[in-house]
Chain A
Amino acid sequence: MKKSILIACCLAAMAFNMACGKKSMVMLAPDPDGSVGRITVANEAGSVDIDQANLATVIRSPEAAPRAPEPLDPAKVEALFGQVVANQPLPPLHFRLHFESDSVRLLPDSRRQLTEIVEAIEARSPTRVSVVGHTDTMGDKVYNVQLSLRRAITVRQLLIDRGIDAAFIDVVSHGQENPLVKTPDNVANAQNRRVEVVIR
C-alpha cells in the first residue's frame, strides 16, 4: 500500500515536471558602461524586483513565485552565459549632422564628417542605416516635416554618392517633434537642425 502511494506520488511528480518543468533563471547583469538597471520577474504566484548586478532568480513553474534573488557565482555566470555575452552585437553608432537654417545645406564640419560615417558603415557590414531628419521649431509644423524629410533624403543621397548601397538606408522624418534641445515654438536652434545617422 505504502509502495503504491509512493509510486503514485512519483508519477504525479513526473507529470508535474513534464507540464511545468521549464525551470528558468533570470539574472540582472551590469550594463556595458558599468551602471545597473532594474527588472521585475513576475507570475501569478508572485513577483520579485532585482536592482543589483549579478543577482538571479529561479522560476520553477507558473504556480510557484519567483525565488528570492541570490548572487550567482561568477564561474557559473561564465559557464551559463559567457558565450552569449561574448557574442552580443556592438551598440549601434549614432552620428549627428547639422544644417544651415531653412536649408538642406550641411555645415562644413558636418560635411567633413561624411567620410567617417561612410567608413563606419563599411566597417559594420552587414548593417542597416537609418537617416532621421529633424528641424528646429521655426516656421510651420507641416513645412518642417517636409524640410526634415528633404534633409534626410539629402544625406541619404550623399551616402549613396560615396558608394553606400541604397537598399540598406532607411529615411525617416521627424519634423520639429523630436528636438535635441527643448524650445518654445518659433525658436531657431542650430542643435535641433540636424539629421541623425544610426549605423547598426
Chain B
Amino acid sequence: MRHAIACLLCLGLVWIGTSTAVAEEIFISIVKSVEGGATITRGDTTHAVTSGMEVKRADIIRTDRNGHVGLVFSDDTRISIGPGTELTIDSYLFEPLENNLSFVLRLVRGTVSYLSGQIAKLAPEAVQLVLPAATIGVRGTHVLIKVD
C-alpha cells in the first residue's frame, strides 16, 4: 500500500515536472465565427471549418469568395479572415514560463485583420506575418493586410 502511494506520488511529480499544462494537447486557437465557405487542411485531410473547432499549428485555412473566419488564440491574438484567403499557422508557441514564444502566420492571398496578443507584448521579435513579397514584424497591435 505504501509502495502504491509512493508510485502515485512519483507519477504525479513526473506529470507536473514534464509539463505545466494538464491538457492532453496544448490548446492554440479556436474558431469563434464562420460564414460562407471555409476549409481547414490538416495533413492529408480537408474539412469544412465549423464554429468552435480547434485550429492547430501547420493548419491551412482557405475561404471562398463569401467566406469569413474569426480566430482567437491562447495568447489573446485575434484574427479575422476575409473572402478569398489562404493562410497557414507556420509556428505557434506560447509558453511564457519557459520563454518559448513564437507566432509565424503565412498569408498566401486574401484579406486579414490581425490584432496581436501577449506573444507580441512579451517577445515582439518572435512575431512574423509572412506575405509573398515581404515580412511584417509586429510591435503591436492592429494590422490590416491584403494580398492580391
Contacts and interface: CB of A to CB of B under 8 A. Distances in A.
Interface stretch (A3-11, A95-103, A123-131): A123-131
B139 interface: yes
A17 to B, nearest CB: 11
B115 A88 contact: yes
A1 interface: no
B145 A26 contact: yes
Interface stretch (A104-112, A113-121, A167-175, A182-190): A167-175
A28 B137 CA distance: 12
Contacts of B147: 22-24
Chain A, interface size: which category? 35 or more
Contacts of A31: 115, 140-142
Contacts of B113: 29, 81, 84-85, 87-88
Contacts of B111: 80-81, 84
B16 A178 contact: no
A40 B145 CA distance: 13
Contact of B16 (A28, A37, A173): A173
Contacts of B115: 31-32, 88, 91
Contacts of A130: 27, 74
Contacts, number: 176
Contacts of A29: 113, 142-144
Contacts of A71: none
A37 B138 contact: yes
Contacts of A28: 142-144
A40 B139 CA distance: 8
Given A89-B70, A177-B97, A24 B132 contact: yes
A139 interface: no
A157 interface: no
Contacts of B109: 22
A174 B52 CA distance: 27
Contact of B52 (A23, A40, A126, A175): A126
A127 B51 CA distance: 9
A41 B111 CA distance: 16
Given A28-B143, A87-B33, A88-B78, A145 B20 contact: yes
Contact of B32 (A32, A145, A200): A200
B142 to A, nearest CB: 4
Contacts of B71: 89
A66 B144 CA distance: 15
Q: Which 10 A-B pairs have the closest CB atoms?
A: A126-B52, A37-B140, A22-B132, A84-B113, A40-B137, A89-B32, A43-B134, A37-B141, A29-B142, A89-B70
9 contacts: A24-B132, A28-B143, A29-B142, A41-B136, A84-B113, A87-B113, A92-B76, A174-B97, A177-B97
